[in-house]
Structure 1
Amino acid sequence: MGKNKSSSKSTLYWLGGTFGLIIIVGLTLRFTGVIGNTDSGKEVETATAKLKTITQLVSASGKVQPEVEVIIRPDVSGEIIELAVQEGDFVREDDLLLRIKPDIYQAQIDNLNAALLTQKARLEQTKATLIRAEATYLRDKELYEKDLISEMDYIQSKSEYDSQKASYKATEYQVESAEAQLRQAKEELEQTVIRAPQDGTITGLNVEVGERVLGNAQTAGTEMMRVSLLDRMEVLVEVNENDIVNVDVADTARIEVDAYPERRFEGIVTEIANSARVTGSGTNEQVTNYQVKVRIITPHNLDSSPEKMVRNEVTEDPEDMFVPNFRPGMSATVDVETQTASNVVSVPIQAVTVRDFAKDQDTTKSDDDSAEVMLASSQDDNLTIQEEDIRKVVFVVENGKAVRKEVETGISDNSHIQILSGISAGDEVVIGSYRTLTNLLNDGDNVTVNNKLSVL
């Protein structure tokens, strides 16, 4: 029994000593750097530079509106006694829209007719007086030439004749004036009947029967309704001054309307404003935009056209039958395609970052040189600030290290940017994380690729 206990204790001591020795050797090797000191590097995400077609976009938001819209305002004031249309009705050119009460204008015509007749009667009276004065003048002229009357009598008859001629001319002008006033009154009477200036759909009907409207005589008249071509719609957007230089007439565009989510429509730029619209002028929030009109060229609002288009062909794809019905005021977003570069080297936008090369050069100086520079700077009252040397760079993964490559960039779309020089297609470039790429990663750093952090 004693021998067995002694043997067990010896075995335990031997195992404990062996295990302790292993621990001591392991710690020694770790502290000396023989094992356990491999630097795995910074964890990064990467993507491959590839050849791609990039289309530069200028995005803006705005409202859908008719390309042609006529505001109907009355030329005369009065009460609406007949309204022949309702909002949404389609009308042809010269169709009756509404009537304004004509009584006051008819009474004015009657009054001017009477005034014209009075002026014509006065003209006849003046004409008779002129004929009598002319006969007297001719008689006195003949008598004067025969020395049968005095010169004073002759001058008097001539003056009377000239005066009557002037009176007759003035009366003629008064008749013409009365006739002009009568014509104007008749035109005003005709303007109490308002007809459609063009084919289109009634939009924005703002009046009812019995309502009084103000004419255009002195101020802008009452807006009664609008006649719009709803089968020709456009989007009016505001483009920032920094982007407007890239937009040209006839540029193609992609249009998204909030009322039709997950659908895209085709458009084309038709007009670019020359004058700016400035908001927040004189403040830190000042914004300068330019209005741009984008015509929607995808077929739409077919039921609002003069001849309703009916598709008779049978199709298995319901998408082929879809025709959007846009209404004025709908919200829309426009992406104008300004430039396209085909088959060019491109990388994700986040791969391109910036570095201050001047700062990097300063960090390579020795500690002694840095101390000398600091001493010289402290003795100089006029300190010189080192100018920045900011350049665009991309980090390429080569043999487990991040290699900084200076690059020149071109156009970009929403996700990728064109690389004009610096890297080639097929290079593995670092795209994240954002904090690592912008602040922590340096040229020559060891890196570990982990592309499971995000879906590219």
Structure 2
Amino acid sequence: MLEVPETESKVKKTVVIIGVISLVALLLWGVTASLDTLANDRAQSSIVVTTEQGDVIQTVGAYGRLQARHSSSLIAEVDGVIADIVRFPGTAVEPGDTVIILENPQLQRDLEQAQLSVLEAKANLELVEAALEEQRIVLLNELEMITTEISLSQKELDTKKFLSEQGLVTQLDFLRSETNLKKSKLSHSLLQRRITALEKTEVAERNMALYKLQEADKRLELVNQDLAHLQVTAKRNGLLSNLHDDIKIGNPVTRGQVLAQVTDPDNLYAELLMSANDSQLVSSGQEVLLNIRDETVHGSVLRIFPTAENNQVRLDVKLPQKLPPIARANLDVSAKIIVAQLESVIKVKKPTDGLKQGSLNQLFVRNNDKFIKRDVQFGLVGDSNVQVLSGLDVGDEVLLTTNPELIKQSEISVDDVQDE
């Protein structure tokens, strides 16, 4: 028969005893902590407040971001590949400052081709002008010869007319000379019409050559502009707010692609969202307390969008020109919209949540050494205070309690409140 050693039995007993002691200590600690918590809750379940005169403000909450009222997009005006990013978001820029540099080898080839086209168009214009000048010289020379021929024919006709009258030449010779003169005059008239037509042709052909030259010049100008557009520059003063996610060195861009945004940091507005239920209380022009990184800025509701999305309604808030230095476009902000405000009225701290405007409530009001339950008519329910229409005067001490045992009573001793 096997026997359990006595030493092993003692060890097991010791472990059991230690475990029991630890469990008891843990239970005692839990009970003590619970009692402390209950005591604290009980101590905080009742407070005494004093009715006073002041302002009651009701607000609704909203959240959103700051947005730039004036912004411009940096748009790629040519195709290319990003070679360098000169400026990054958060940098102040001025008109002409380079933000991104692109490269496009095809544009260099287009430049060379455009330059050759300009030279070709200039040579063509010179060739047209030379050909037209040659035609003009030929026609003018022929016109001068015909003019001389007419003069000689006229003299010959006059001479033969005289001789014909004297009977020295035949009538046939006279008629032949007269016919030659008419031919010369007809040739002269034809040359004049050809010269007139040449003048019109000169205008048309010269204009055509000039148009081709202008077209080549314009093509060269456009290529030079495209080369200049490889440097994407800012068009206005402002702050480079962001670069698009795909703007990285080596990535391709296409003409018309938006690359970045430049915003005016001194001209911002708030784009906020509020619950659809709260939107019924909000209207244009209401004051807004905007929290920008723990700094409060006063604004006003500019407009409220008519539709709701995901049970939220969007509104825009107009802000003053002077904003905290931390203010930036796309910065998260929170806001309180003042939907109702009363000045210099009797007010008391809100006894509980869920109060309705104009409701009748029962509060414990101090009378000597007792708090006596009294009917109190509430008005506007603010964020932390409520307007008192009747039942309380300025200076009255009111017991606000959530203790169910005290709430059931009609009056409470001051000592009971202090003991609690």
TM-score, normalization by structure 1: 0.54
Write the mapping of 1:131-170 to structure 2, written as runs, cut at 5 A: 131-132=133-134, 136=139, 147-149=185-187, 155=193, 158-170=196-208
For 2:382, the equivalent position in structure 1 comes to 413
Q: 1:172 to 1:350 in 2, by over 3 A?
A: farther
In structure 2, distance between residues paired with 1:278 and 1:123: 67
Task: Tell me, yes or no, if structure 1 residue 208 matches structure 2 residue 208.
Answer: no
Is contact 1:266–1:298 with CA below 8 Å preserved after alignment?
no
Which residue in the other structure is 1:319 paired with?
A: none
Structure 1 stretches lacking a partner, 5+ long: 1-43, 258-263, 302-325, 356-390, 436-440
RMSD: 4.9
Q: Is the 8 A contact 2:79 2:104 kept in 1?
A: no
Deviates more, 1:130-139 or 1:342-351: 130-139
CA contact (8 A) 2:299 2:317 kept: yes
Q: d(CA) in 1 for partners of 2:393 and 2:140?
A: 111
Which residue of 279, 289, 310 corresponds with 2:309?
279
Q: Give the conservation status (yes or no) of the 8 Å contact 1:50–1:346.
A: yes
Q: How many angstroms apart in 2 are the aligned matches of 1:226 and 1:116?
A: 38
1:68, 1:232 within 8 Å by CA — same for their partners in 2? yes
Q: How does 1:23-422 map to 2 (within 5 A)?
A: 49-64=51-66, 71-85=73-87, 94-132=96-134, 136=139, 147-149=185-187, 155=193, 158-197=196-235, 198=237, 200=239, 203-204=242-243, 206=245, 207-216=247-256, 221-223=257-259, 225-226=260-261, 235-239=270-274, 241-248=279-286, 251=287, 253-255=289-291, 257=293, 264-269=294-299, 272-273=302-303, 276=306, 278-279=308-309, 285=311, 287-292=312-317, 294=319, 299-301=324-326, 329=330, 331-337=332-338, 340-348=341-349, 392-395=359-362, 402-403=374-375, 405=377, 409-410=379-380, 412-418=381-387, 421-422=389-390
Deviation at 1:232, TM superposition (A): 8.2
Aligned 8 A contact 2:53 2:345 in 1:
yes
Q: How far apart, CA to CA, are the structure 2 residues paired with 1:182 and 1:271? A: 53
CA separation of 1:291/1:354 partners in 2, compared to 1, >3 Å: closer, same or farther?
Answer: closer
SS at match of 1:148: helix
Distance in structure 2 (CA, Å) of the matches to 1:202 and 1:289: 23
Higher normalized helix content (fraction of residues): 2
CA contact under 8 A between 1:100 and 1:192: conserved in structure 2? yes
Aligned length: 321
What TM-score do you get using the length of structure 2 for normalisation? 0.57
Q: How far did residue 53 of structure 1 move?
A: 1.9
Write the distance in 1 (CA, Å) between the matches of 2:140 and 2:315. 76
Q: Distance in 2 between matches of 1:274 and 1:133?
A: 78
Instruction: Name the CA shift for 1:245/1:450 in 2 (closer, same or farther; >3 Å).
Output: farther
Deviation at 1:186, TM superposition (A): 1.0
Name the amino acid aligned to 1:84: V
Q: 1:152 Cα shift? A: 6.5
CA distance in 2 between partners of 1:194 and 1:450 (Å): 80
> Matches of 2:195 and 2:321 in 1, distance apart?
81
Quick one: distance in 2 between partners of 1:232 and 1:245? 23
| Equivalent-residue separation in structure 1 for 2:264 and 2:192 (angstroms) | 76
Q: Deviations over 1:95-135 (max 9, x none)?
A: 44332114322221221121122222222233334445566
Q: Kindly provide the amino acid, as one letter, of the partner of residue 291 in structure 1.
A: D
Deviation at 1:138, TM superposition (A): 11
Bigger mean CA deviation after superposition, 164-173 or 184-193: 164-173
CA contact (8 A) 2:57 2:340 kept: yes
Q: Percent identity?
A: 14
Cα distance, 1:102–1:185 mapped onto 2, change above 3 Å: same
Tell me the distance in 1 between the aligned counterparts of 2:130 and 2:280.
80
8 Å CA contact 1:73, 1:222 repeated in 2: yes
